[in-house]
Structure 1
């Protein structure tokens, strides 16, 4: 692929890894050219996307059309389960499919995922009535007498991403030795001949993989000066199951009036992506049984979920009313 600049022609050649957005600085606006949907820049720049192309000119860089994705996506090889009904001559076609290897990380592929393609394409030999079926004719393809010309796939323009292209991480599971949590991912580009050479396919975590409750949310829980929020001193996190529990207070200042209820345990918690806290009535303080706040670690999302509502929780506190004066 050749791109013409104001005073130069350059051939785009090799892939290289990307850096961060901070490294992507604009030097001289007048040297920017928009060519084939790519910004070409003059100056010693670093491309910000995962898959980039660098030219043999030392000062010309090309960013991929979709930052973070290989241009056009990465397809698997064509496969078929059809059995060809004829033995030679390109007289039949088989149904083929292929998969977009990058679709699961939201990098779409350009092109079709199905096709009908001639099968058993070698030319027929005597005593067959014809050498090739119409419209094909005998020709040498890869050293064999073949009935062609055969349809050609569009030229693949995407390069192998530097270091390969990984899938997203799967959820954590307890390992077979019951000593740690593990999660795995797959090299999506390997099937297309682009090995993953950076990073690992397995990640191990000896601690619970969910984010701890964020104490800084305490300030957001306050509503006036007469209400405080506190977490029980009696709490525990099971490091094998990653289930958290905390005993709720039943003192007079922890059993407040709430909506139509009197003397009740109430908590406030902050849901992920919320813009305000949520209040939830836990139990009647007159109930002699102990009451607990419980949450479990969601090994897929990496957040704790409040058992009562299944909401992902960033932080929580029990409401406590200060006595007057």
Structure 2
């Protein structure tokens, strides 16, 4: 909603109130109309703010209440919208109570990050691993009434849908995971690093992974795209980059650094490509290096 419409709404409410003053005889009627008009205007203003907010009404309501504000207050909207997404997620999770189930964590991820973990699980996208990290495997073994050190059920565990792995882990831990612990688990199971994504929100780097956009804006300069199982990674320029520079050719500094990390460059497609020789999902450490290199290039060469 633009400023002009807001001003029109304000004037309309003021006009209704003034008309009431002149047309109603009793002072009680005047004050009643004043109160009604003011209440209507405040409600309308709240609706305007809600429509313009970065997050949905239920997320904004939950975060406000977590911060000790009234559910419909708009005073902290700008503060909430500039918070790191991980912080918003933590506040939002409090609305589910002391015990937070797996489906509620996944809902929080979708509502705050717009990433559908259930879709990743259903399509069996994401991390392709021979085995999950020890803490996950030990908890899942316990969920099958096995000893934490037993490997009897490991093959069965690795066949489970990612959502079920997540649900079993959270149940074993009595539904008491903190936001930070839940995000670590999500990265270990789904290969989605929410902490990293949160820090990259305004980096001008788009990320397409697990069959969906993880990060995207109209002013992104480069796109990092991974295969559905995260084994392959590609880096290329956006249309906005081409508009800005007059070319879709990647900068030589970025090409040189990523080639030294094992990428190959295709001149015809103007694309950098990497495939993990182990035929497993690219490790987090390598992802971090790649992301750091791209963001570093954006900061040093394209930021004012």
TM range (shorter): under 0.3
Identify the structure with the greater strand proportion.
1
Larger CA Rg, structure 1 vs 2: 1
Bigger helix share: 2
Query: TM-score normalised to the size of structure 1?
Result: 0.21
